[in-house]
Amino acid sequence: MTSFKKTRPHTIVFDLDGTLVDTAPDLITALNYVLDREGLPPVPMASARNMIGAGARKLIERGLEAEGRTVTPADMDRMTADFIAYYADHIAVESRPFDGLEAALDHFAAQGHRLAVCTNKLEWLSKRLLDQLDLSRRFAAICGADTFGVQKPDPTIFRETVARAGGDVKASIMVGDAGTDVGVARRAGVPVIGVSFGYTDVPIAELKPDRLIHHMRDLPAAAIDLMATSYN
């Protein structure tokens, strides 16, 4: 892995699902649990991966759309509650950090950079997942869709996450896998590194992140490059 050059300390802000952790197996299992309770067939894992990323309610909506179904708002509330309850109890059965993640985090920490999580997952679910994977201790802030009352791509969630981590937005970088991550970075006026191994219905390369990586081993070098340019 590329060695760091000394740079101004930055806050590296990560999306969670599809960026830090491969959560698809447990999320889709929870989705299929809810669909089965409604008498609907399961959604195949391969096609369902790209439904992830906008929160539990949206995941269920997309699962229903795949079967040509719509439900009332009250039914959606019930299904979302069922999903969250099941998922919370099965949150890290198969979910695992992406290969190379912990080494990349070690490199950032060794150079004094702050690490934070900014996700459209609920905060308490995010913390539960990261706790079970022994990752929570690595982050100065873990913020979700309910933390500040807004979701990505609203830039408020990014700015407040950086502030909670004790960082400066002017010295921060977003790392994510989907349009909401690129969108929040653009609206907050910060650079963004896209990962190609996550969950998105639009290929991340088409969203033109400032840097694109295909493995976590490449993240430190991409971040160094950005820190050494006009964002430093």
- Structure-model confidence comparison of residues 130 and 67, the more confident one: 130
Alpha carbons 101 and 139: distance in angstroms, whole number: 13
Please check if 154 is assigned to a binding site.
no
Say if residue 52's pLDDT is above 90.
no
| Predicted pLDDT of residue 4 | 42
CATH topology of domain 24-90: DNA polymerase; domain 1 (1.10.150)
What would the mean pLDDT of 104-124 be, rounded to a whole number? 96
Set 15, 22, 26, 181: catalytic member: 15
Instruction: Give yes or no: 15 in active site.
Output: yes
Please check if 181 is assigned to a binding site.
no
Say if residue 228's pLDDT is above 50.
yes
Yes or no: is domain 11-20+98-230 CATH 3.40.190.80? no
Mean residue pLDDT of the chain comes to 92
Say if residue 198's pLDDT is above 50.
yes
Say if residue 170's pLDDT is above 70.
yes
Q: Per-domain residue ranges for the chain? A: 11-20+98-230, 24-90
| Predicted pLDDT of residue 231 | 46
Alpha carbons 48 and 27: distance in angstroms, whole number: 9
Alpha carbons 222 and 229: distance in angstroms, whole number: 11
Residue bearing tokens 């990752």: 135
| Predicted pLDDT of residue 8 | 83
**126 phi/psi in degrees, rounded to 5:** -60, -45
What would the mean pLDDT of 80-106 be, rounded to a whole number? 97
Helix (H) or strand (E) holding 117: strand 114-118
Please check if 17 is assigned to a binding site.
yes
Say if residue 162's pLDDT is above 50.
yes
Same fold, 11-20+98-230 and 24-90: no
pTM above 0.85, yes or no: yes
Alpha carbons 14 and 203: distance in angstroms, whole number: 18
Task: Provide long-range contacts, Cβ within 8 A and 24+ apart, for 62-71.
Answer: 63/31, 63/34, 63/35, 64/35, 64/40, 67/35, 67/40, 67/41, 69/38, 69/40
